[in-house]
Amino acid sequence: MSLRKNESHSERKTWRRIVDEYQNPDMLRSLWQLISTLILYALFWILMAWSLGKSYWLTLLLALPAGGMVVRLFIIFHDCGHGSYFKSAKANHWVGSIVGVLVFTPYFYWRQSHAVHHATSGNLDKRGVGDVWTMTVDEFLAASPWKRFIYRTYRQPIFMLGVGPLIMFLFTHRLPTRSFRKREQASIHWTNLGILIFMSLVSWLLGFKNFWLIQIPVIWVAATAGVWLFYVQHQFEGVYWERAQNWDFVKAGLEGSSFYRLPKVLQWFSGNIGFHHIHHLSPKIPNYLLEKCHLENNIFQIQPLTLISSLKSLTFRLWDEKKSQLVNFRHLKIYRHQSPRSSS
């Protein structure tokens, strides 16, 4: 992906002025989106509970739209973390913390790691927090056999999109880390308590087994969709990555984040997060104004990814610094032949 060829230097200088016009959340619109999403999510939960007495296949089918509602809730949670959903910081924190229970993600913990991601996206020297683990070819060749095995396993689509998301949302997000401050660690404990209360109440109504027969497929659908969206937003053909000394914030936004053009129904479920190039330039824009910002400004009219073209991202494994592109593991044979000293 690249910027439009006819884009002028002056157009790039105006991006700050442009995005300022859209950084104004509408309380009524935010509340309507929040309340309607919660109602629809509750409705799908009721339908799934009803379907347990009919057919579990029907329950699993209903998990698709229910999981889609969790993705939509996560986008609201995500906007709260950026302070873009409400003008009030307290409102963002309260709503984000409560919705965090429903999306199995501690609000302040995630908010901090995601802020690091925004500040370092596309910077090869600042990888490791809030992003998808990506090694360069040289790093992989210099790694131990065990680390290579772990990395190969991690980057396999079956693990990264199948097993990994469920592990992350059900278990990894439950564990505090010493690298974060007390508020971030406390948010993990409070979220865990909220999940326990939610689980206990629903289990009291439906039964413990029935709770998990519904919750596991819903979380799996939502987590897998969410991880895929996050992955494809920064792992696509032509993506921008650069060392710190040459890293550029605007390029990291417009060339290091994708414009993922989804069918309207998927765009709705994903809360317009496909306009990720705009979001990275201005995370203060609420999700419901991203499309408007895109359509009204030529600077953001970049080459889109589609559902079909995005599938190529599944083949990418490593970053080749010499070619400035993502490559697959088969590329290692060519790389070793060209640079015999780097092989091991």
**For residue 4, is it within any domain?**
no
State the alpha helices, DSSP H only, in the chain.
Answer: 9-13, 15-20, 27-51, 56-82, 89-102, 107-120, 137-142, 145-155, 157-158, 164-170, 182-206, 208-232, 249-254, 264-269, 276-281, 290-295, 307-310, 331-338
**Angle 30-31-37 (CA atoms, 0-180°, nearest 5)?**
95
pLDDT category, 1, cuts 50, 70, 90?
A: very low
**For residue 63, is it within any domain?**
yes
What percentage of the chain exceeds 90 in pLDDT? 80
Question: Average pLDDT, whole number, for the chain?
Answer: 91
Q: Give the mean pLDDT of 60-80.
A: 98
Structural tokens at position 110: 């995630």
At 279 the pLDDT is 95
Query: Among positive and negative, which fits the CA dihedral 102, 37, 118, 184?
Result: negative
At 108 the pLDDT is 95
- Taking only the tens place, the pLDDT of each residue in 36-57 is 999 999 999 999 999 999 999 9
Q: Which of 20-29, 83-92, 122-131, 193-202 has the lowest mean pLDDT?
A: 122-131
pTM equals 0.91
**For residue 1, is it within any domain?**
no
Structural tokens at position 331: 């590329």
Which is more confident, 339 or 250? 250
Q: Residue 184: which domain range?
A: 9-342
- Taking only the tens place, the pLDDT of each residue in 257-280 is 999 999 999 999 999 999 999 999
pLDDT category, 334, cuts 50, 70, 90?
A: confident
At 298 the pLDDT is 87
At 226 the pLDDT is 96
Q: How many CB atoms within 10 Å of residue 185?
A: 18
pLDDT category, 10, cuts 50, 70, 90?
A: low
pLDDT category, 25, cuts 50, 70, 90?
A: very high
pLDDT category, 171, cuts 50, 70, 90?
A: very high
**For residue 106, is it within any domain?**
yes
**For residue 3, is it within any domain?**
no
pLDDT category, 13, cuts 50, 70, 90?
A: low
Q: Tokens 């924190």 correspond to what residue?
A: 93
Q: What is the dihedral of CA 324, 330, 332, 334, to 10 degrees?
A: -90
How many domains, in total, are found in the chain? 1
Q: Give the mean pLDDT of 310-335.
A: 90
At 337 the pLDDT is 62
At 78 the pLDDT is 97
Q: Are 294 and 109 in contact (CB under 8 A)?
A: no
Q: Are 27 and 86 in contact (CB under 8 A)?
A: yes
Distance CA 251, CA 123 (A): 11
pLDDT category, 2, cuts 50, 70, 90?
A: very low
pLDDT exceeds 70 at position 344: no
Cα 210–chain centre separation:
29
Distance CA 197, CA 199 (A): 5
At 40 the pLDDT is 98
pLDDT category, 179, cuts 50, 70, 90?
A: confident
**For residue 2, is it within any domain?**
no
